[in-house]
Structure 1
Amino acid sequence: MLTRRETPADVSAARAVIAAAFAKPGTAGSPGSPGSPGSPDPVEATLLDALRTCDGWLPELSFVAVDEKDEVVGHVVCTRGHIDGVPALGLGPIGVRPDVQRQGTGLALVHSVLGAADALGEPLVALLGSPAYYGRYGFRPATELGILPPDPAWGDYFQVRTLTAYEPTLRGTFRYAEPFDHV
């Protein structure tokens, strides 16, 4: 498996991976289910579509994982967010094709996008996700650093991973790219 920046030729395959990764049983694209025509896309797939057309889209932080046949099997993206007006990044959606999950693809994607974000001089990456899962990447509850989630109910599930350019004076409320407001 190889992780690399997404190219224009990867866009539809990356969207398909996100749709499959988040499909509910019995819907189109879910593993082991024929689904039905016209089944709604998972919100993560429509979010990805909206992110691609917003001001917060950062093509240099959209990565795919490809297998030995150069087929896209995973996708991750970071988009422009802000902490009280200061630029930061929001991670997500991230997804791996169901038939290749639990083989390290997600791990490789997260490491790739974090490394690229660090190389670009970004201060931190925020996400909403499982503390047990994302803790292994160095994410920790954002409130420990004085960064508040967009929704206080998120609690410890709203996490940040600081990067080299992070300054401890960076505090305040995080805001994702605009399409997240409609999820």
Structure 2
Amino acid sequence: MPAVREIVTAAFPTAEEADLVDALRADPEAWIDGLSVVVETADGTLTGHALFTRCHVDGSPALALAPVAVLPAFQRQGAGAAAIRAGLDTARSLGENLVLVFGHPEYYPEFGFAPASRWSVRASFEVPDEALMALTLAPGRPVPSGVIAYAAPFGV
């Protein structure tokens, strides 16, 4: 989707994240319809995007949230948060149980994310504990523990 690529390219210093989105879109094992979320202004201008794709924790399905992108002119106005919230709502409605994010530890807790180590979930690479976070979407359902297996386009 060209508009998503434009948003992601504008939001990051290189095209690496936009290329990642394209690769994830092309990967049938990663892509989940409805979990590439865009937000727009009242006049229809697309301003933000959040992508949730399939990953696994010790063989159990989970979601990886990455990347989240907002056009620079619309940053810090709630577009990213709106995309994340809409994606989390859709993930819940699809029966997903766990979302993982590697990101800013001062931002993602506002959506309910907490250090993934609380559930004994870890990455296969070195990462600060506070930067790898998890959110359970289905209270009462067991949360898998173990190492995250990201979709191949992530390269980890």
TM-score scaled by length of structure 1: 0.80
Q: Which runs of 4+ in 1 moved over 4 A?
A: none
Equivalences for residues 133-172 of structure 1 within 5 A: 133-164=107-138, 167-172=141-146
Contact 2:119/2:143 (<8 A) preserved: no
CA distance in 2, matches of 1:42, 1:158: 23
Q: Does 1:19 align with 2:9?
A: yes
Aligned to 2:67: 93
* CA shift digits 1:89-132 (9 cap, x unpaired): 00011100000111111111111001110111111100100111
**Whose radius of gyration is greater, 1 or 2?**
1
Instruction: Give the deviation of 1:166 after TM superposition.
Output: 6.2
Structure 1 residues 159 and 78: CA distance shift in structure 2, 3 A: same
State the secondary structure of the residue aligned to 1:50: helix
Instruction: Give the deviation of 1:42 after TM superposition.
Output: 2.5
* CA shift digits 1:20-62 (9 cap, x unpaired): 0012xxxxxxxxxxxxxxxxx4211111111110121112111
Of the candidates 94, 105, 110, which is equivalent to residue 131 of structure 1?
105
CA distance in 1, matches of 2:47, 2:110: 22
State the secondary structure of the residue aligned to 1:103: coil
Number of aligned residues: 155
Instruction: Give the deviation of 1:169 after TM superposition.
Output: 4.8
State the secondary structure of the residue aligned to 2:44: coil
Aligned to 1:46: 19
Q: Aligned Cα RMSD in Å?
A: 1.5
Contact 2:32/2:53 (<8 A) preserved: yes
Instruction: Give the deviation of 1:155 after TM superposition.
Output: 2.4
Give the gaps of 5 or more residues in structure 1: 1-10, 24-40
CA distance in 2, matches of 1:169, 1:43: 31
- Sequence identity percentage: 38
Give the gaps of 5 or more residues in structure 2: none
TM-score scaled by length of structure 2: 0.93
Contact 2:64/2:101 (<8 A) preserved: yes
Contact 2:97/2:143 (<8 A) preserved: no
Instruction: Give the deviation of 1:176 after TM superposition.
Output: 1.4
Contact 1:89/1:124 (<8 A) preserved: yes
Contact 1:148/1:172 (<8 A) preserved: yes
1:87 partner amino acid: P
Contact 1:142/1:149 (<8 A) preserved: no
